[in-house]
């Protein structure tokens, strides 16, 4: 006689809720240890951010991403209660609201990109396994790294070295967009969708490859059988936070993987030039590559806000605020908890705003702040690179926050920020 586990799905809700907080606020110990060993510029900020996120119980990154769940269910488990996926999505919705995490999911990819307001639905991959246990692996994927995902259908006689070169090319192309040092997940086999799924899961559970790639702290791979004529390969990247957590349910009890130990604070020293946004002439002397500490007033504005501003300008209507000599920060913060000035905040990928940048510079924008390289050149305009993936560190630099306009856009609304000594690198576009 086979013993079966009778389980109310409320236990699934509890596990998912807790795993979300663990994954969003704790840098995995294995990642912390590897990053500590790297000789990487900006490492100190990453380690300090890990300390702040853990001690404040706030997200490592303002992009609290899409929730991806690998759910393994023993075939001998008997469920009672609500539908499992309803419980999972209720846990996501409630956790993201109650913990003041950023909600980044829109209603529909093409036809209605209004923010849903609760970060659901989670992306759930379910597999039936033998026995009466349940295994849950939960990952948080932000847009910057996820957007660098690449699929390639190789010739079936391709050598393994070609696959590694492909992964290297993907990492180089991603650059700062994926918040390096990054983790590479390689999935190979099955059909195209299998390779993509394997690549995602490889980030968290794949076999580690003993190779060294600049700006990469780890490369992992998962493989599967495939057609004799096919060799699908997908590369999925993760930022340095590699946010994930896991648990299993046995006999109705949730068993979580051990949480990382408390991380120590890191002191950061710099001799960068200090500039205030009120001193417009100071910006005229900046050269490509200059590192600065910026204080003063800036305005957040990212994808949806840029689109709306462009539409207003094209209609010859008046913008809600004057762009002349303003600095736009490509950022969408987490909601602030009671007592916070602003939630964790950091730069998003700048090149997504490139189609709007010439128009807004023409309307008087002094400079922009964001993450990664850009496609626009020859404008002779200022762009400042900010380090990605250190949202709690940058949160400490915000001294005042006021809503300006587009409140309906949620995290993509425009805010006026008073900042103090944000570390940036100058780029002349």
| Burial class of residue 87 (count of CB atoms within 10 Å of its CB; 0-12, 13-18, 19+) | buried
Query: H or E stretch including 276?
Result: strand 273-276
Our answer to whether residue 306 is catalytic in this structure is yes
CB 390, CB 59: distance < 8 Å: no
Q: What 3-state DSSP class applies to 306?
A: helix
Q: What is the Cα–Cα distance from 137 to 93, expressed in whole angstroms? A: 18
Kindly calculate the radius of gyration of the chain based on its CA atoms and give it in whole angstroms. Answer: 23
* Helices assigned H by DSSP within 153-191: 160-174
Phi, psi angles (nearest 5°) of residue 284: -70, -20
Q: Which residue has the tokens 């008997």?
A: 78
CB 187, CB 151: distance < 8 Å: no
Q: What 3-state DSSP class applies to 61?
A: coil
What b/e string do you get for 195-225 counting C-beta neighbours within 10 Å, with b at 16 or more? bbbbbbbbbbebeebeeebebbbbbbbbbee
93's tokens: 């919705």
Sign of the CA dihedral 396, 398, 400, 405? Answer: negative
Chain centroid to CA 347: how far?
Answer: 10
What b/e string do you get for 388-427 counting C-beta neighbours within 10 Å, with b at 16 or more? bbbbbbbbbbbeebeebbbeebbbbbbbbbbbeebbbebb
Query: H or E stretch including 224?
Result: strand 216-226
CB 412, CB 305: distance < 8 Å: yes
Query: H or E stretch including 47?
Result: helix 43-56
Give me the active site residues, please: 306
């Amino acid at each position: 006689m086979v013993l079966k586990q009778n389980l109310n799905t409320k236990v699934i809700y509890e596990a998912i809720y807790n795993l979300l907080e663990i994954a969003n606020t704790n840098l995995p110990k294995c990642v912390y240890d590897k990053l500590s060993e790297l000789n990487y510029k900006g490492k100190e900020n990453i380690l300090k951010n890990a300390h702040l996120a853990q001690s404040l119980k706030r997200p490592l990154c303002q992009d609290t991403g899409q929730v991806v769940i690998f759910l393994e269910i023993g075939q001998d488990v008997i469920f009672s209660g609500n539908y499992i996926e309803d419980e999972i999505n209720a846990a996501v919705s409630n956790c993201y609201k109650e913990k003041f995490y950023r909600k980044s999911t829109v209603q529909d990819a093409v036809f209605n990109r209004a923010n849903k307001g609760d970060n659901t639905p989670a992306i759930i991959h379910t597999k039936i396994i033998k026995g009466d246990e349940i295994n849950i692996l939960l990952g948080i994927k932000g847009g910057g790294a996820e957007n660098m995902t690449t699929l390639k259908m190789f010739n079936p006689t391709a050598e393994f070295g070609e696959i590694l070169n492909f992964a290297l090319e993907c990492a180089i192309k991603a650059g700062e967009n994926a918040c390096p040092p990054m983790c590479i997940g390689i999935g190979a086999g099955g059909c195209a969708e299998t390779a993509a799924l394997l690549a995602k899961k490889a980030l968290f559970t794949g076999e580690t490859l003993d190779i060294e790639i600049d700006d990469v702290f780890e490369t992992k791979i998962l493989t599967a059988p495939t057609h004799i004529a096919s060799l699908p390969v997908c590369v999925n990247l993760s930022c340095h936070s590699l946010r994930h957590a896991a648990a299993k349910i046995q006999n109705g009890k949730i068993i979580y993987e051990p949480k990382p130990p408390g991380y120590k604070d890191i002191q950061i020293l710099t001799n960068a030039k200090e500039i205030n946004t009120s001193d417009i002439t100071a910006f005229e002397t900046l050269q490509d590559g200059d590192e600065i500490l910026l204080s003063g007033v800036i305005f957040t504005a990212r994808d949806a806000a840029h689109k709306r501003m462009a539409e207003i300008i094209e209609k010859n209507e008046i913008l809600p605020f004057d762009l002349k000599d303003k600095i736009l920060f490509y950022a969408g913060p987490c909601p602030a908890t009671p007592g916070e000035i602003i939630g964790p905040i950091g730069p998003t990928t700048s090149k997504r705003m490139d189609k709007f940048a010439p128009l807004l510079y023409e309307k008087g924008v002094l400079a922009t702040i964001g993450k990664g390289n850009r496609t626009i050149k020859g404008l002779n305009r200022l762009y400042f690179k900010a380090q990605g993936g250190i949202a709690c560190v940058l949160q400490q630099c915000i001294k005042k926050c006021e809503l300006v306009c587009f409140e309906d856009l949620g995290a993509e609304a425009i805010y006026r920020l008073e900042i103090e000594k944000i570390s940036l690198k100058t780029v002349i576009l």
